[in-house]
C-alpha cells in the first residue's frame, strides 16, 4: 500500500466543460473541487483518487497506478461510477444532487450541486454534544425523509455517519457520499471489501449472519443520533456482539431529553435487525411527534437560556 498526498487539479483546468476553481476538501479516497459550468453556475466535483492506490505528482493530470494496486483501484472505481449512476435518478432536497458523472484522466468524476454549510460531525464538535432536541428531531427527520426516498429507489446507503450528513446554513440536512451504496434487490451478505465505519456500521455489515436491508441504515441513523448527544461514535457493533458495553440512551441522558427520543435511539441501535424499526418513513413519523409532553422535568437544557437550546 502506498501512502502519499495527491496533487489536486490546478485552478483554471478545463474538465469536460467545467472549469476548476479550487480544492474544497480531500479525503483518503477522493478530492472535491469547486468548479463552474459553462453558464457560470458553481458546482462541486468529486474526483476518485484513493491515496493508497494512485499517485498524481505536481504538474500531472492523470494519476499513476502501480500494477500491484490496479485491481483495488478498479474495484473502487466501479463503486464510484455506480454511485454516480444510482444518484442521477434521485432528486430530493435531503439527498445529494448528482448532476453529471463521467470518466476522464483515467478516473471518474461526479458533478454535484454546490451547497454551503458544514458536516454534522463538525456541528457536533462545535457544540460539544449540547444540541437542542428540537434541532435533533427536525434535522434527523429530514435525513430520514431523504433516506426513505433512497430506499424507495431500491438503494441502501450503508455508510451513514455524521461526516456524510451535510448541514446547509439553514440547518437542513443533505445525505451524501454514497460510495458504499448497494441495490437492495440483490442484497445479501456484505462484500469482502465493503466499506463501513466502526461505530456506525450495523452488526450485519461485519459478517454474513444477518441480511443487509433498510434496517442496516436505520442502525446507522440511530448511531448518528447517539453520537450527536455523546459527542462521538457509540461502541462498535462487532465489539458489542462480543461484550455489549453501550449504555442505553435512556440511561445516559434520561434527565436531559424526552423519553420518546431516547427510546427511539435505543430501538435503532438494537443488535438484532428484526427488532429495529424497519422503515425510514415510520422512524421519521416517530421523530416528528412532539416530545414536549413527555420531556423530563428540570432538564438542564431548558435552563440554559440560550437561543437554539431548550
Answer for the pair 210, 110: CB distance below 8 angstroms, yes or no.
Answer: no
Q: How many percent of the chain have pLDDT more than 70?
A: 87
Name which residue leads in pLDDT, 129 or 280: 280
Answer for the pair 45, 21: CB distance below 8 angstroms, yes or no.
Answer: no
CA separation for the pair 33, 188 (Å, rounded): 35
Q: What is the mean pLDDT of residues 119-141?
A: 92
Name which residue leads in pLDDT, 122 or 27: 122
CB 276: neighbour CB atoms within 10 A?
A: 21
**Of 195, 182, 177, 183, whose CA–CA distance to 46 is shortest?**
177
Q: What is the mean pLDDT of residues 66-89?
A: 88
Q: Which three cell numbers stand for residue 128?
A: 460539544
Provide the pLDDT for residue 42: 98
Q: Where residue 35 falls among pLDDT bands split at 50, 70, 90?
A: very high
CA separation for the pair 299, 104 (Å, rounded): 55
What does the pLDDT look like over 259-306, one tens digit per residue? 999 999 999 999 999 999 999 998 998 888 765 544 554 443 333 333
179, pLDDT greater than 50: yes
- Helix intervals (H) in the chain: 70-87, 120-127, 133-152, 214-230, 237-242, 249-252, 259-268, 280-288
Provide the pLDDT for residue 189: 55
234, pLDDT greater than 70: yes
Place of cell 422512524: 283
Whole-prediction pTM: 0.85
Q: Where residue 110 falls among pLDDT bands split at 50, 70, 90?
A: very high
Provide the pLDDT for residue 24: 93
What does the pLDDT look like over 147-170, one tens digit per residue? 999 999 888 999 999 999 999 999
Provide the pLDDT for residue 4: 58
Structural domains for the chain? 14-113 (3.30.200.20), 117-303 (1.10.510.10)
**Of 248, 209, 203, whose CA–CA distance to 225 is shortest?**
248
Task: Work out the mean pLDDT of the chain and round it to a whole number.
Answer: 87
Q: Where residue 308 falls among pLDDT bands split at 50, 70, 90?
A: very low
CA separation for the pair 53, 72 (Å, rounded): 7
Beta bridge partners of 155: 183
Amino acid at each position: 500500500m502506498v501512502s502519499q498526498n495527491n496533487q489536486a487539479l490546478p485552478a483554471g483546468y478545463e474538465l469536460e466543460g467545467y472549469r476548476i476553481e479550487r480544492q474544497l476538501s480531500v479525503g483518503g479516497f477522493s478530492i472535491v473541487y469547486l468548479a463552474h459550468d459553462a453558464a457560470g453556475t458553481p458546482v462541486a466535483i468529486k474526483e476518485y483518487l484513493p491515496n493508497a492506490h494512485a499517485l498524481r505528482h505536481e504538474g500531472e493530470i492523470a494519476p499513476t497506478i502501480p500494477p500491484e494496486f490496479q485491481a483495488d483501484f478498479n474495484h473502487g472505481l466501479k463503486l464510484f461510477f455506480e454511485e454516480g449512476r444510482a444518484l442521477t435518478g434521485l432528486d430530493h432536497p435531503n439527498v445529494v444532487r448528482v448532476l453529471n458523472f463521467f470518466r476522464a484522466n483515467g478516473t471518474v468524476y461526479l458533478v454535484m450541486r454546490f451547497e454551503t454549510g458544514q458536516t454534522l460531525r463538525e456541528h457536533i464538535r462545535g457544540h460539544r454534544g449540547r444540541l437542542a432536541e428540537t434541532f435533533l428531531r427536525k434535522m434527523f427527520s429530514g435525513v430520514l425523509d431523504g433516506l426513505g426516498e433512497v430506499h424507495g429507489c431500491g438503494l441502501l446507503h450503508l455508510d451513514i455517519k455524521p461526516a456524510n450528513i451535510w448541514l446547509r446554513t439553514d440547518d437542513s440536512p443533505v445525505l451524501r457520499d454514497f460510495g458504499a451504496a448497494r441495490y437492495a434487490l440483490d442484497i445479501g451478505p456484505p462484500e469482502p471489501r465493503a466499506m463501513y465505519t466502526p461505530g456506525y456500521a450495523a452488526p450485519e455489515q461485519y459478517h454474513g449472519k444477518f441480511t443487509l436491508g433498510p434496517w442496516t441504515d436505520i442502525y446507522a441513523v440511530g448511531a448518528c443520533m447517539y453520537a450527536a448527544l455523546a459527542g462521538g461514535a457509540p461502541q462498535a457493533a462487532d465489539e458489542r456482539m462480543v461484550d455489549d458495553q453501550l449504555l442505553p440512551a435512556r440511561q445516559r441522558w434520561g434527565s436531559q431529553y424526552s423519553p420518546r427520543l431516547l427510546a427511539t435511539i435505543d430501538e435503532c441501535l438494537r443488535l438484532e435487525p428484526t427488532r429495529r424499526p424497519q422503515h425510514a418513513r415510520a422512524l421519521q413519523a416517530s421523530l416528528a411527534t412532539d416530545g414536549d409532553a413527555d420531556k423530563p422535568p428540570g432538564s438542564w437544557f431548558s435552563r440554559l437560556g440560550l437561543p437554539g437550546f431548550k
